[in-house]
Amino acid sequence: MITAGCDVGSLTSKAVVLKGNRILGSAVIRSRTRPEAAARQVFDEALAAAGIEEADVACCLGTGYGMKKIPFVSGTKSEIACHAAGARFLAPSAMTVIDIGGQDCKATRMDKEGNVERFLANDKCAAGTGRFLEVMAKILDVTLDELGALSKKARAPVTLASTCTVWAQADVIQYLNSGETVQDVGAGVNNAMAARVATLANSVGMAPDVCMTGGVAKNQGVVRALEKLLSIRIVIPRKADPQLAGAIGAAILARKAAEGKGA
């Protein structure tokens, strides 16, 4: 059976096509102002990558910030449920999921069967989200990929006085104007991000293994800083791009729905 998941986030949109436990095709694009347009494009790209037609898909579920605007899905599921299912697919030993999205950050604890036991989310402030890193990377004149690598090159990471995105921007500009290196300031940005996320993760009551999903999972500076703060090893999915976790989970839940097993 072929199923699919479409995750329309605030910064990026993702789609995955699954056949059983095998990913046939996937795609990640920048989100648009119209979620339905982003959903259509990313789904079409995933279908093309899989080499199939939309009619071949038995069921497709939507998730993410713009899920209610996706016209072609059979239904929708919460990001919490989808990232939990996606994390278990990518890292079967995962009991806790830290998902850092474009506009929020979520920590979820699961039971042995993968059911959500508890979750907490920060969706009221840009600090601790992908948007925070995007803003800081622009000020530092580096890409998001380059931002993570700065931590390895830093000699004396700066400390940001505030994790508030607005005030942190002022800190970053002041540090750069005073002669601090881009590497040290970038490492300070990654550390500030990790500190905000660590507070949320500790509050949910983590259980190992801890898996990190979302695009920020590819930022090694944040991941390493978070591991130090939490005193725990974080599993980063290697089976597929961690940014696809929500879409993968939606495709898995779509299969359960199509099989009549619920989701």
Alpha carbons 240 and 251: distance in angstroms, whole number: 14
Cβ within 8 Å of residue 188, ≥6 positions away: 157, 158, 159, 160, 172, 175
- pLDDT bin (cut points 50, 70, 90) of residue 129 is confident
Report whether 207 contacts 95 (CB < 8 A).
yes
Helical pair 220-230 and 182-204, crossing angle rounded to 10 deg: 50
**Same CATH fold assignment for domains 1-91+240-263 and 93-236:** yes
The answer to whether the peptide bond before residue 209 is cis (omega within 30 degrees of 0) is yes
Mean per-residue pLDDT over the chain, rounded:
92
Residue 149 has pLDDT above 60, yes or no: yes
Region 142-149: what's the mean pLDDT?
A: 92
Distance of alpha carbon 235 from alpha carbon 89, whole angstroms: 13
Q: What is the pTM of this model?
A: 0.90
Q: Domain limits of the chain?
A: 1-91+240-263, 93-236
Residue 122's pLDDT is 80
DSSP H or E stretch at residue 214? none
Residue 257's pLDDT is 93
Is domain 93-236 given the CATH code 3.40.50.1360 in the classification?
no
Residues 65 and 214: their CA atoms lie apart, in Å, by 14
Q: Which CATH superfamily is domain 1-91+240-263 in?
A: ATPase, nucleotide binding domain (3.30.420.40)
Alpha helices by DSSP H, listed for 67-129, are 79-90
41 φ/ψ sector (left φ>0, alpha ψ -120 to 50, else beta): alpha
Q: What is the percent of the chain where pLDDT is above 70?
A: 97
Spatial distance between the Cα atoms of 151 and 132, rounded to a whole number of angstroms? 16
Q: What is the pLDDT of residue 125?
A: 67
The pLDDT tens digits of the residues spanning 219-241 come to 999 999 999 999 999 999 888 89
For residue range 48-103, list pLDDT tens digits in order. 999 999 999 999 999 998 999 999 999 999 999 999 999 999 999 999 999 988 78
